[in-house]
């Protein structure tokens, strides 16, 4: 296996998971507690990457982040670089396409919590923020952890959007999933098989963790 690709893949997946914890937890908490009637529209937007072809998502991200887009110009003014075909670019793409894999399990975890626990905390004088840290997080952690593992595992295997936005630049944007594609193009089936088997083993381990957490949560 390509060591640079392994490193890049792990960094990308870890960064995606971290960003989605910061964005996804508040968003999921809002989705789980809001009584707003238009909530389903936000939920549909979050779920969109599940059904959209990665090429469509990748195309819009590529255009949206390009040097002539407002985001691209802002980024260039701030850092001097451009987003497409860079690590920052594939990170944005990976975050967008992994949004449902983080937000949906988080939302399920928050929805499953007894609402009265939060209300009891408010009546005991604790703010919503403190209630989140003292009650919501400690009671919902198995579901949240499952969401983080799922997000990491799915980000490791990301292919379509990363190829669209990042190209396949060795050491910069060529992740493990892309090396398999390149190996097959180069008729190096042996290398492709090795990498594929490793990814199967990793994905299986991740799914085992997710479902063990789910089973554990239902029992307690």
Partner 1 sequence: MLETQIEKRFARGPVIRGGLRCPADRFHVTVVAGPSGSGKTTLLRCLAGLERPDSGHVRFADETWCDVAARRFLPPQARGVGFMFQEPALFPHLSVADNVGYGLRTHAVADRRRIVTGLLDRLGIARLATRRPHELSGGEQQRVALARTLAPRPRLLLLDEPLSALDPDLRLDVRHQLREWLADCRTPVVLVTHDRADADTLADDVVTMPVNV
Per CB under 8 A, residues contacting partner 1 are: 114, 116-117, 119-127, 130, 134-135, 138-139
CA end-to-end distance (rounded Å), the chain: 41
Q: Which is nearer to partner 1, 100 or 142 (CB)?
A: 142
Q: Which is nearer to partner 1, 80 or 125 (CB)?
A: 125
Q: Which is nearer to partner 1, 68 or 219 (CB)?
A: 219
> What 8-state DSSP symbol labels residue 112?
T
Q: How many CB atoms lie within 10 A of CB 106?
A: 27
CA 166 – CA 83 distance, rounded (Å): 9
* Nearest distance from C-beta of residue 35 to partner 1, angstroms: 11
Q: Kindly give, in sequence order, each residue whose CB lies less than 8 Å from that of residue 139, ignoring residues fewer than 6 positions away.
A: 113, 117
Nearest to 147 by CA among 114, 100, 113: 100
* Nearest distance from C-beta of residue 208 to partner 1, angstroms: 25
Q: Which is nearer to partner 1, 37 or 68 (CB)?
A: 37
Q: How many CB atoms lie within 10 A of CB 37?
A: 7
Nearest to 183 by CA among 169, 170, 193, 172: 193
CA 58 – CA 92 distance, rounded (Å): 10
* Nearest distance from C-beta of residue 142 to partner 1, angstroms: 11
Q: Which is nearer to partner 1, 8 or 213 (CB)?
A: 213
Nearest to 172 by CA among 88, 102, 115: 88
Burial of 79 per CB tally in 10 Å (0-12, 13-18, 19+): exposed
* Nearest distance from C-beta of residue 150 to partner 1, angstroms: 23
* Nearest distance from C-beta of residue 124 to partner 1, angstroms: 3
Q: Which is nearer to partner 1, 19 or 145 (CB)?
A: 145
* Nearest distance from C-beta of residue 126 to partner 1, angstroms: 7
């Amino acid at each position: 296996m390509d060591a640079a690709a392994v490193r890049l893949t792990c960094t990308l997946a870890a960064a995606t998971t971290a960003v989605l914890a910061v964005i996804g937890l508040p968003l999921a908490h809002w989705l789980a507690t809001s009584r707003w009637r238009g909530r389903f529209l936000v939920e549909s937007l979050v779920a969109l990457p599940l059904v959209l072809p990665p090429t469509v998502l990748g195309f819009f991200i590529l255009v949206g982040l390009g040097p002539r887009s407002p985001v691209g110009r802002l980024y260039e003014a701030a850092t001097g670089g451009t987003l497409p075909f860079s690590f920052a670019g594939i990170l944005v793409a990976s975050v967008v396409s992994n949004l449902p894999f983080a937000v949906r399990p988080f939302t399920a975890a928050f929805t499953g919590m007894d609402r009265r626990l939060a209300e009891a905390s408010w009546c005991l004088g604790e703010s919503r923020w403190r209630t989140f840290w003292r009650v919501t997080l400690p009671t919902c952690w198995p579901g949240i952890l499952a969401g983080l593992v799922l997000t990491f595992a799915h980000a490791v295997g990301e292919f379509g959007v990363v190829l669209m936005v990042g190209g396949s630049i060795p050491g910069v944007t060529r992740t493990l999933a892309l090396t398999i594609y390149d190996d097959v193009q180069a008729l190096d089936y042996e290398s492709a098989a090795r990498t594929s088997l490793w990814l199967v083993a990793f994905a299986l381990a991740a799914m085992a963790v997710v479902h063990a957490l789910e089973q554990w949560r239902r029992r307690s």
